[in-house]
A and B are shown apart, each in its own frame.
Chain A
Amino acid sequence: MDLFQLTTNADTAEHSDALDTAALREENRRLHRVCQALMERVETGGSADGAPYAAFERSVLLAEQVRERTEALHRALDELGQVNTRLLAAKAEAEAANLSKTKFLAAVSHDLLQPLNAARLFASALETHALPDTSQTLVGHIGRSLKDVEGLLGTLVDISRLDAGVLHADKAPFAVSTLLDALAEEYRQVAGVRGLALHYVPSSALIESDLALLARVIRNFLSNAVRYTEQGRVLLGCRRRREGLEIMVGDTGPGIPEQQREAIFLEFRRANQPQGAHSRGLGLGLAIVDRISTMLEHPISLVSRPGVGALFSITVPYAAATAITSVPSTRYALLAEEAQDPLHGCVVWVIDDDLAIIEGMQALLSSWGCRVRAAATVSALEAASDGEQPAVLLVDYHLGEHRETGIDLAARLQRRYPGLASVVITANHEAEIKRATREAGMHCLLKPLKPLRLRMLLSSLLNKY
């Protein structure tokens, strides 16, 4: 390469030493100039003297660095992306595992609830029999123990469902009295057993909530109040607030110290270990209350003075007055005279694929005076029924792997027997099934079936006819 075009043409320097010398001198001078310029450049290069070319050079080098950093950043981002992908995969795996755990729990609880349901029905039926006093007491104990198991199981299932996010609120408008009247009645007896008085102040307010979940919250309040109060009374009532109806449960128990007020909403915590044989439960109650409150967006409040008592409340939005749908009234008609008992002599069909349930239902419903026809299939039922017109159908929602759902079956029967009141019974606590039954104009009861609730529903259904 003729780097600088420095060598002069050989022709011009031809044969003359003098010319050669002159040419070499000239070349030497230019090389000297080049060297000087380069040395000056090397020595001033990098100095921050604000010369224009230096500014340009710095910008170039800066841009170069920016390019390098950008590349490094891209590499880092790529790696981050890969880590993210791995994390997402791990998360999906964990979620799948969680879901399968939830499904497993739901399946187990379903399987547990079935025999428990049957046992409860048998026990209830047994109580109506004329038995020696000692046996009667034992039957009572069995019934209460079964009820406790049922309660614990329900709590565990609920908390796992709430945590897994599979439990969805099914909000509908209803009169608060629908719920509170029944709860007051129920807990008046429980409180009575413990020597406590329950004061209930009814309200005519209409609210909008998920009846079952709200019931769960107030039950928890009431259970706690009864459990922790050694003497005095328990109050159940409502206060109309601008933002909604505040449903309150107060007690004259030991109260909750300030520093424990958040902790009691965590799992497995109890403020004060209660005395005596009444201690039950896993301390899951208020943890559930907290989760349900979050899900329903109903705020919870707690006012307490240690040694004086505690007041738990949940504030529920009002319903538009016109929005009330046909939620069955559960006002107690318990002590109605036998002659007026609408259950007496009415034809009730039961369809369930579990033989123990069929037998249990048969025993229970018969003890209420109903004419029961129970079977696993419609054809078996019709064969046994001598062409009778059924008044009420009780059908299990989940009739087995390859069969129609209880709702579909009930709809089919309703077409054949117009006016047939249908109650779908399910161990599945998902809001969807409840909604589906409501939309089909049917009623829904959850397993384990509570005999009292069933009886109330049947009464109200039969009173319509």
Chain B
Amino acid sequence: MQRLRDGVVTTYSAERGVITAASQHADTALAAAELAQVLRHDHLGFVLFFCSAEYDLAALADALESCFPTTPLSGCTTAGEITPLGYDRGSIVAIGFDRRFFAIETALIDDLDHFELANAQRLVDTLLGRCRQQALAPINEHSFALTLLDGLSSREEQVLATLDAALGRIPSFGGSAGDDNHLSHTHVYIAGRFHTRAAVVVMINTRLPFEVFSTHHLTPLNHKLVVTDADREQRRVIELNGLPAAQVYADLVGVAPEQLSAAIFARHPVAVHIGGQHYVRSIQRVNSDRSLSFYCAVENGIVLTAMQPTPLLDNLEAMLAGVRARLGSPSVIIGCDCFLRRMELEGLQQLDQASQLLRQSSVVGFNTYGEQHHGMHVNQTFTGVAFGSLPAND
């Protein structure tokens, strides 16, 4: 793929209310300085960033805060970045929001285990109240929530369901933070530091037209697997069809259990079928006891349907074309792209082609450990928000 030249790349869309920038510098101070050089201007109101988990996060936090002393920042660690040039690794990508177009307020949920509806309602009310004070655009129809969750917290479903109930008609989407497939520590960033076992809610109220979307390229096969033993707290499936889960899954895809890998999981996903739709439940890893850990909630008695991929690029291209048809050429798209999709693209050697598609549609974002869409925690999707432009006479 095309590498970033001189460490920093940028797209200027100042007249459209957003500027995007990325830096390849491993040095946190240099990376932050490069972002600041591009993003800082008189009307910068908020910065959203996605960074590689390889960074010294404490140093990065200090560097970012000293480069953006008066601007609120939020972000998370990734399993790969989508910069203005396409897919990348080991970098940091950032989006600067112009306060003349965006009223943005953020909140931290640091106790994921006790996030009750009352907390959610208070949080949403506070955020909307602060957005309303900026009197930029009506709240209804002009706001959405972006959620960034610790991808290894195993609390996404409850937090999202609770938050979604409080958000009511306000659309939401987001991603679970990654850590370059180490599956050890994922972080979200708010108020000057990185947090684990936490979530960040970013309320965005904007004058720009926008559309929250989610797409995937998987279709169901006939095979069904019934979860006959599960550890719901650990998101672990111990048994499928009354046999060790890894064995049954390996038989299904036709490999030996010891050959199971993320690449296999990406190419042979399983999904639950609810209300006429299939929702992929991605497998995270095989455990030594031949159980399977998942990236999302599982339960005893759920029926998993074997899925197969259709051409990913075709699906991505069609989705982006649809967005263009409805919104016009997007000023920016923030994408939460499941890292398993990236893995599939790498396996098929289609990463450069995908990068080109993303670049053409001004997509920036990151590879996730799970995506969030309207309160649902989903896997193996490309979920995000596309911003259009203001009509010329506005």
A-side interface residues toward B, CB under 8 Å?
Answer: 1-6, 29-34, 36-42, 44-45, 50-64, 66
Q: Which parts of B233-258 form the interface with A (CB within 8 Å)?
A: 235, 239, 241-243, 248, 251-252
In the complex, which residues of chain A have a beta carbon less than 8 angstroms from the beta carbon of B252? 5
Q: Which of A4, A56, A63 contacts B226 (CB 8 A)?
A: A4
A271 to chain B, nearest CB (A): 49
Selected A-B contacts with CB under 8 Å, 7 pairs: A2-B223, A31-B242, A37-B301, A52-B157, A53-B298, A63-B374, A64-B277
Q: Which of A29, A45, A52, A62 contacts B232 (CB 8 A)?
A: A52
Contact assessment for B248 and A62 in the assembled complex, using a CB-CB cutoff below 8 Å: no
Contact assessment for A37 and B228 in the assembled complex, using a CB-CB cutoff below 8 Å: yes
In the complex, which residues of chain B have a beta carbon less than 8 angstroms from the beta carbon of A52? 154-158, 232, 235, 297, 299
In the complex, which residues of chain B have a beta carbon less than 8 angstroms from the beta carbon of A64? 274-277
Q: How far is the CA of A66 from the CA of B248 in the complex (A)?
A: 36
* B270 close to chain A: CB less than 8 A: no
Contact assessment for A40 and B301 in the assembled complex, using a CB-CB cutoff below 8 Å: yes
Contact assessment for B274 and A57 in the assembled complex, using a CB-CB cutoff below 8 Å: yes
A66 to chain B, nearest CB (A): 7
Contact assessment for A53 and B299 in the assembled complex, using a CB-CB cutoff below 8 Å: yes
Contact assessment for A34 and B241 in the assembled complex, using a CB-CB cutoff below 8 Å: yes
Contact assessment for B161 and A37 in the assembled complex, using a CB-CB cutoff below 8 Å: no
Q: How far is the CA of A154 from the CA of B95 in the complex (A)?
A: 70
Contact assessment for B226 and A61 in the assembled complex, using a CB-CB cutoff below 8 Å: no
* Contact A30/B242 with A37-B228, A60-B275 known, Cβ cut-off 8 Å: yes
B190 to chain A, nearest CB (A): 24
In the complex, which residues of chain B have a beta carbon less than 8 angstroms from the beta carbon of A58? 161
B298 nearest CB neighbor, chain A only:
A53
Contact assessment for A59 and B160 in the assembled complex, using a CB-CB cutoff below 8 Å: yes
* Contact A33/B239 with A51-B232, A59-B164, A61-B275 known, Cβ cut-off 8 Å: yes
A64 to chain B, nearest CB (A): 4
Given A30-B241, A32-B242; 16 other pairs, CB 8 A cutoff: A1-B223, A2-B223, A4-B225, A33-B241, A34-B241, A37-B229, A37-B300, A50-B158, A55-B297, A56-B279, A56-B297, A59-B377, A60-B275, A60-B277, A62-B164, A64-B274
In the complex, which residues of chain A have a beta carbon less than 8 angstroms from the beta carbon of B184? none
* Contact A34/B157 with A56-B297, A63-B374 known, Cβ cut-off 8 Å: no
A104 to chain B, nearest CB (A): 40
A41 nearest CB neighbor, chain B only:
B301
In the complex, which residues of chain B have a beta carbon less than 8 angstroms from the beta carbon of A55? 157-158, 160-162, 297
Q: How far is the CA of A5 from the CA of B252 in the complex (A)?
A: 9
| Interface of chain B: mostly helix, strand, loop or mixed | mixed
Q: Which of A4, A44, A56 contacts B376 (CB 8 A)?
A: A56
Q: How far is the CA of A44 from the CA of B301 in the complex (A)?
A: 10
B222 nearest CB neighbor, chain A only:
A1
In the complex, which residues of chain A have a beta carbon less than 8 angstroms from the beta carbon of B9? none
In the complex, which residues of chain A have a beta carbon less than 8 angstroms from the beta carbon of B158? 50, 52, 55
Contact assessment for A59 and B161 in the assembled complex, using a CB-CB cutoff below 8 Å: yes
Contact assessment for B377 and A34 in the assembled complex, using a CB-CB cutoff below 8 Å: no
Per-residue CB proximity of B355-394 to A under 8 Å, as 1/0? 0000000000000000001111100000000000000000
B382 to chain A, nearest CB (A): 17
A375 to chain B, nearest CB (A): 56
* B217 close to chain A: CB less than 8 A: no
Contact assessment for B274 and A61 in the assembled complex, using a CB-CB cutoff below 8 Å: yes
Contact assessment for A38 and B241 in the assembled complex, using a CB-CB cutoff below 8 Å: no
B365 to chain A, nearest CB (A): 22
A60 nearest CB neighbor, chain B only:
B274
Contact assessment for A59 and B226 in the assembled complex, using a CB-CB cutoff below 8 Å: no
Q: How far is the CA of A108 from the CA of B109 in the complex (A)?
A: 77
A43 nearest CB neighbor, chain B only:
B301
Q: How far is the CA of A40 from the CA of B376 in the complex (A)?
A: 23
B148 to chain A, nearest CB (A): 18
A45 to chain B, nearest CB (A): 8
Contact assessment for A5 and B251 in the assembled complex, using a CB-CB cutoff below 8 Å: yes
A6 to chain B, nearest CB (A): 7
* B290 close to chain A: CB less than 8 A: no
Most buried by B among A34, A40, A55: A55
B243 nearest CB neighbor, chain A only:
A30
Q: How far is the CA of A58 from the CA of B279 in the complex (A)?
A: 13
* B224 close to chain A: CB less than 8 A: yes
* B227 close to chain A: CB less than 8 A: yes
Contact assessment for B300 and A40 in the assembled complex, using a CB-CB cutoff below 8 Å: yes
* B296 close to chain A: CB less than 8 A: yes
* Contact A34/B299 with A5-B248, A5-B251 known, Cβ cut-off 8 Å: no
B390 to chain A, nearest CB (A): 24
Contact assessment for A56 and B275 in the assembled complex, using a CB-CB cutoff below 8 Å: no
A1 nearest CB neighbor, chain B only:
B222
Contact assessment for A56 and B157 in the assembled complex, using a CB-CB cutoff below 8 Å: yes
In the complex, which residues of chain A have a beta carbon less than 8 angstroms from the beta carbon of B242? 29-34
